[in-house]
Amino acid sequence: MVYIPEILLHAARGQPTYIQHPYNYTPTEWICALFVALYSLSTILHLIQAIYYRLWFLLPTAVLAGIGEIIGWSARLWSSKSPSLIKPFIIQITTTIIAPTPLVAANFVILGQVIVRVGPKYSRLSPLWYTIIFVSADLIALVIQAVGGAEASNAVYDNRNPDPGANIMLAGIVFQMVSITVYITFALEFVMRYWYDRPIHSKKGTTHEAHYLDRNIKQMLFGLGFSSTTIFIRSVYPILLKELAGGWDGDVIATQHLFNVCDGAMIVLAFYILNIFHPGRLLGPGPSWEPEMRSSKKQTQNNDSEKGEGKDTLITSEGASPSLPRVGSTTGTSQRSSAHEHGHWHF
């Protein structure tokens, strides 16, 4: 998070400093070591899973995010042994802010693929546009946070006020939180429209395909929802600190366990939930994604010109596979109705 404590501000302003070290506490060694181990294990698993399932987009997202967290918590481990050093403090500031950003991008891409499998007609955006818009927003947030982190770091080393850089980092976090909020809103709308069979892309006299979810896609949606929630909590935390809890010099920011829970633990949960509810296991390996994405793009382009008799389809984690039976419109409608009536969201 964006932690610019009083000692740095006083030093930059040429004022005397009376605090022993920049954290206002000494990071607990075993906790820092534990987080380094947890992030290392999850990152190694993500690397293996990305290669095994050939989901290469996870390398610059989940794996890169894990490397950033390892660096950040290694710096905090360094600080636990040398709490007065500024260098590890600056390293952990920038890396713990920036590291979760690529992980958010992975969630955006995965949701787009889920929409492909379930039905783009229920989504306000096509799967392709989900990737373009939200990944672009994530990159913008990353750039803003990186610029702010560099400015704050340089200010400290140049004996200047680091507040402007810290505020830039905070702006990046706010921008990211807004994009996550919009993403969650669109995802919830998609699920609700699917649930009540209210497609967005409709034309009078057109019958739409109806789908119902298999167990794997339900689990993938749960994993995305859980991961997005933990990342959202992590994004809200520094904003509340800055605006409501005394800012960078307040008592809350100098409380180690709040950082450990609201930052470290939240992102650890986001990492491991993606390991457990992995898109490669639940949605299939990478080669099966590409034709689905192309099919989705074509379907989106033809949404307003669809005509003819609709068919109900059993959508599974492998998509509408030719090996699966095509369900007739009467039977399929009955199955979908039955699934809704009996709460087909059970895992």
> Residues of 59-82 as b/e, b for ≥16 C-beta within 10 angstroms?
eebbbbbbbbbbbbbbbbbbbbee
Output the average pLDDT for the chain. Answer: 76
pLDDT tens for 119-159 read: 888 888 887 888 888 888 888 988 888 888 778 777 767 77
In angstroms, the CA 246 to CA 38 distance is 31
- Is residue 245 pLDDT above 50, yes or no? no
218 phi and psi angles, rounded to 5 deg: -60, -45
pLDDT tens for 272-312 read: 999 999 999 999 998 888 555 555 455 545 544 444 444 44
The structure tokens listed for 346 are 């059970």
pLDDT > 70 fraction of the chain, expressed in percent and rounded: 68
- Is residue 166 pLDDT above 50, yes or no? yes
212 phi and psi angles, rounded to 5 deg: -135, 155
> What one-character DSSP code corresponds to residue 23?
T
- Is residue 222 pLDDT above 60, yes or no? yes
> What one-character DSSP code corresponds to residue 267?
H
pLDDT tens for 177-194 read: 888 889 889 989 988 888
Radius of gyration of the chain (CA): 23
The answer to whether 336 touches 122, Cβ cutoff 8 Å, is no
312 phi and psi angles, rounded to 5 deg: -90, 140
Residues 286, 290, 292, 297: is their CA dihedral positive or negative?
positive
**What pLDDT sits at residue 308?**
42
Q: Is 6-301+311-341 CATH 1.20.1070? A: yes
